């Protein structure tokens, strides 16, 4: 039974993330979405809020998902405890690849776990959580980029 871990800050979870998660779920029996707590990123939504939102959003999507969070420690140790077969990451541009490649290499070096890169659908190629937050803060319409549950959570 193949298990993938799809980690990220997901602050917030966008249509781009949904696309990667659902495509990963076609290749893996179970996809664990892991919200990684990174206080340095000054998150907009709490870890718990993000976990609950992602659960709600994926509830009606095809695929088998488990949503959890990682507050400390190495991601690869979390993967080992789960018995995960691979990490999954979405890649939009070469900038993403420059950022992701060393992480994939160190994760493999530390644990042997491979990272599978899924190319972003061009529809979501420019959508990032930080842009979504910026557009939202400046009064723009983010409903094309994130599900309504996210718009609601950010509006609170
Ligand atoms: O969505 P992000 O913030 O780009 O995701 C980055 C993330 C959470 C995947 C990365 O920071 C991570 O894997 N953190 C876990 C801590 C860890 O294991 N670090 C060492 C190897 S990268």
Task: Kindly report, residue by residue over 109-127, the tens digit of the pLDDT.
Answer: 999 999 999 999 999 999 9
Tell me the per-residue pLDDT of 61-85, one tens digit each, with 9 for 90 and over: 999 999 999 999 999 999 999 999 9
DSSP state of 45: S
Q: Which atom of ligand 1 is nearest to the CA of 7?
A: 9
Residue 40: predicted pLDDT: 86
8 A C-beta contact, residue 34 and residue 4: no
Nearest CA, atom 15, ligand 1: 75
Burial per residue of 97-115, b for 16 or more beta-carbon CB atoms within 10 angstroms, e otherwise: eeebeeebeebeeebebeb
Query: Count of CB atoms within 10 A of residue 23's CB?
Result: 17
Q: Which position among 44, 50, 124, 129 bears the catalytic label?
A: 129
Structural domains present in the chain: 3-155 (3.40.50.620)
Residue 2 burial (10 A CB sphere; 0-12, 13-18, 19+):
exposed
The mean per-residue pLDDT over the stretch 141-146 comes to 98
Question: Quick check: 143 pLDDT over 80?
Answer: yes
When pLDDT is cut at 50, 70 and 90, the band that residue 54 belongs to is: very high
Q: Which of 32, 103, 113 to mutate to test the pocket of ligand 1 (most atoms within 8 A of CB)?
A: 103
Is 106 close to ligand 1, i.e. is its CB under 6 Å away?
yes
Let me know how many helices (H) and strands (E) the chain has, helices first: 6, 5
**Token reading at 48:** 């718990």
Burial per residue of 30-42, b for 16 or more beta-carbon CB atoms within 10 angstroms, e otherwise: bbbbbbbeeeeee
143 as an active site residue: the answer is no
Q: Which of 11, 38, 107 to mutate to test the pocket of ligand 1 (most atoms within 8 A of CB)?
A: 38
8 A C-beta contact, residue 6 and residue 47: no
Residue 51: predicted pLDDT: 98
């Amino acid at each position: 039974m193949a298990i993938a871990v799809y980690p990220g800050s997901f602050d917030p979870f966008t249509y781009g993330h949904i696309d990667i998660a659902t495509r990963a779920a076609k290749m893996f029996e179970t996809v664990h979405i892991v919200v990684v707590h990174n206080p340095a990123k000054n998150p907009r939504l709490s870890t718990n809020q993000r976990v609950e939102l992602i659960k709600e959003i994926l509830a009606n999507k095809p695929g088998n998902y488990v949503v959890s969070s990682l507050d400390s420690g190495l991601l690869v140790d979390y993967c080992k405890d789960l018995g995960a077969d691979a990490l999954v990451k979405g890649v939009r541009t070469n900038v993403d690849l420059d950022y992701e490649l060393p992480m994939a290499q160190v994760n493999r070096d530390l644990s042997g776990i491979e990272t599978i890169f899924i190319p972003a659908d061009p529809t979501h190629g420019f959508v990032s959580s930080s842009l979504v937050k910026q557009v939202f803060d400046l009064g723009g319409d983010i409903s094309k980029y994130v599900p309504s549950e996210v718009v609601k959570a950010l509006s609170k």
